[in-house]
Structures are given as C-alpha cells and as structure tokens.
Amino acid sequence: MQVMVVIPTYNECENMEKIAEAVLSQPVDVHVAIVDDNSPDGTGEIADALSVRDERVHVIHRQGKMGLGSAYITGFKYALQQGAQYVFEMDADFSHDPAYIPSLLEAARATDVVVGSRYVSGGGTENWGLVRQLISRGGSLYARVILGMPIWDLTGGFNCWRRDVLEAVDLDAVTSNGYAFQIEMKYRAFRRGFRLVEVPIVFVDRRVGESKMSGSIVREALWKVWRFRLDSRIGK
C-alpha cells in the first residue's frame, strides 16, 4: 500500500458514497480509511457497504462523537499499521476536492509534509462569508506569528504526511481537536525538523450537510497556540 486517505465522518450520509468513489477514482494507488463516530444518520452502515464492494475501503467504528483530532489520530495509526507510505487527511464534504490528491502526492515525494493551502498563490476559498474568511485567515496568521512557522495555512485540513513524519511525531501526545489539531500537527513536525511545503488548493464550502464549525473550536485554537509555543517538550 502506498497511499491511504483518512476521512473522519459524523452524519455524512449524503456525502459518504460520493466522496469515497471520488477518492478511489484518482489515478493513484489509493486506499480510504473512514473513521466514523457512530453517526446516527447511518453513515457507518454506508461505509460498511462500500468496504464490502471495494477492498480498498477500510472502516473504523468508534463508540461515539470523540472529536476530529482524535479521529485523525486513530486513522493515522491505522494507516501506519496497514503499511501506508503516504497518509492524507481530508474532509468528507467535498470542501477538499479529491482531484488535488495526485498533485499533493507528487509534492510529497520530494518533501516531508504537504499542506493543501488556501493562502498561497493559486489557492483560495469559495462560498465563504466575510466573517469566516477573517476567522480562518486571522487564525492562521495568529498561529504563524506566535509559533514562528513559515506556513501560511496552518489551520488547513487537507494535508499529506510521509510515513516517517507520523512515526516521529508523538501521536499519543496530541490532544487537540478542530483548528488546534491542524496547527499542533504541523508545529510538531516543524519542531522535529521536517520540511513543510504548501501546494495551492481552492476550498469550496460543503455542498450538503451541516458544518461542524463552532465557537469552541475557534477558542480552543486561540489559547492552545500559546500552549504549543511554551511547551518545551514538543519537538523532543
């Protein structure tokens, strides 16, 4: 196995089959790991049916809604156990276009971490209001300045990790969710000396279903950035 795409899900029944098929249709040898938090809308059952039809679909069922960050950690560990050399993370709602997977993978073969970036030349967002744009751009700039990282899109969640990076980063020590999770993972890799490269993507707001964004996610990112900065254990 070369590539595994980790997709956390909670109430994504309207997107589940389409996003899995879109990922698997890319011109790369790719598997999908769906991490479902016991979605009451039947997302997990749809994922199970997909896995029966296609052996490249793997399903991890969790007992309840435990958070985005922990879902990714579960998926990352599973991907490593399965022998994946490159591990992607992406949303289930088509805000991250699977068509970018080949270009991100190509970049990953020459670096350590590839960030699908909205905030470099060629990247952008669609169907976002002004407030959301300010929160996202401001959050990335806030974290960039405090942590001293040369990355413009620190809160982005469409990323590709080489196997050795995930093995070196202490996944068990990562406790953040939401925006903070994305910042923490990149910071841990940066502090360990890994190379991070941004590749432009256009982020399109979800087509169907409800957004998982909340005020608590934003607040977590604001205070945890300082915790990361002051934690001397990160990177050791």
pTM to 2 decimal places: 0.93
Give domain limits for the chain. Answer: 3-230
Would you say 76 and 171 are in contact if contact means Cβ atoms under 8 Å apart? yes
| Dist. CA 38–CA 41, nearest whole Å | 9
The H or E element spanning position 60 is strand 57-61
* Average pLDDT along the chain: 92
Residue 5 pLDDT more than 60?
yes
What is the CATH architecture of 3-230?
Alpha-Beta Complex (3.90)
| Dist. CA 193–CA 142, nearest whole Å | 21
The alpha carbons of the chain give a radius of gyration, in whole angstroms, of: 16
Here the tokens at position 210 are 């409800």
For the segment 196-208, what is each residue's pLDDT rounded down to a tens digit? 999 999 999 866 5
